[in-house]
Chains A and B, each alone.
Chain A
């Protein structure tokens, strides 16, 4: 079994993009794709809890932060790859769509199309949202500095 590290990193990234995308935007982007193969469900969407763990400062001992609701799904496209979708919340079709697109993205025949048609716009959208939020936050930033002490002389 040969695993391409670079592709693995890419896959982690696109799975993250698919999971974090707004479901409606993901669906409308996916609808613009054409010539796609059918698929079968290996594991139909199911909702459950996952324990989110963390480490203080990223290095300390792992602790349980809390549980969150998550929906997962696994599919296989015709003559092709198995894809997995894990999304926060209870949206079954979001998980299924994410799994399907993950399977397509692993397939060289479809990767370019899905990358440019779905992943790139979603990432761009996400970056815009972030930039916007960042700008909004920055606008309210308070710089603390020592004010010039007025000598209270009358003007």
Chain B
């Protein structure tokens, strides 16, 4: 009949698109400028659930993606459904490959099987370091008190990026990524309604040991 698959699969976005996306943007900005800081996003009960995708990742994408930011979802995600959904609400195109992605959605526990795609993500270039991808990653653990130690811009002394359940190869990848500074990828780690960030300006250090977590 009249309807396409796309139309029937449509689901609602933010309840109040302007204010909700501003709130989420502010929260992501706070997390990105204070690496390791865990922020709780405002509740958005209207948002639908996608397999393997935390609500905070969806909210961040709704707030950040627009006409100029191709989005790519890797294995473990409902790629077609997400492309339709984000295309409808944000107008963002679906990226044809990692090379043209501005945002990439990925399940952190599957980092190793997705590493070929990671290698092809844009890092920006010397004239335009902003032409790089932002990785939005679903992680198995966030806020458990353990993770790599961080220090550098935006951190008073030392902080712990309380992200757990990612393979050691990922942290190796993140350290190499930081060595590319000012080029490189930025990371948003998401779980449930919370998120934390790791910008390219920070090189994740050794894993914190029991009792290392700073009292904040």
Q: Which of the candidate stretches A17-25, A74-82, A87-95, A119-127 sits at the interface with the other chain?
A: A74-82
| Count of chain B residues near A, Cβ 8 A | 16
Name B2-61 residues within 8 Å CB distance of A.
Answer: 2-5, 7-8, 10-13, 15-17
Q: How far is the CA of A76 from the CA of B48 in the complex (A)?
A: 14
Q: Within 8 Å CB of A41, what residues of B?
A: 12
Residue A7 contacts which of B1, B10, B13, B16 (CB distance < 8 angstroms)? B1
Inter-chain contact A8/B2, CB cutoff 8 Å:
yes
In this assembly, does B89 line the interface, its C-beta being within 8 Å of a C-beta of chain A? Answer: yes
Q: Within 8 Å CB of A82, what residues of B?
A: 3, 7-8, 10
In this assembly, does A154 line the interface, its C-beta being within 8 Å of a C-beta of chain B? Answer: no
Given contacts A42-B10, A82-B8, contact A106 B1 (CB under 8 A): yes
Q: How far is the CA of A106 from the CA of B8 in the complex (A)?
A: 12
Name the distance in Å between A92's Cβ and chain B's nearest Cβ: 13
Given contacts A43-B88, A43-B89, A46-B17, contact A76 B10 (CB under 8 A): yes
Q: Within 8 Å CB of B16, what residues of A?
A: 44
Name A24-54 residues within 8 Å CB distance of B.
Answer: 40-44, 46
Report which B residues bind A (CB closer than 8 A). Answer: 1-5, 7-8, 10-13, 15-17, 88-89
Some 30 contacts from A to B, beta carbons below 8 A apart, are A1-B4, A2-B1, A3-B1, A3-B2, A3-B4, A4-B1, A7-B2, A8-B2, A11-B2, A40-B12, A42-B10, A42-B11, A42-B12, A42-B13, A42-B88, A43-B13, A43-B17, A43-B88, A43-B89, A74-B10, A74-B88, A76-B10, A81-B3, A81-B7, A82-B3, A82-B8, A82-B10, A106-B1, A106-B2, A106-B3
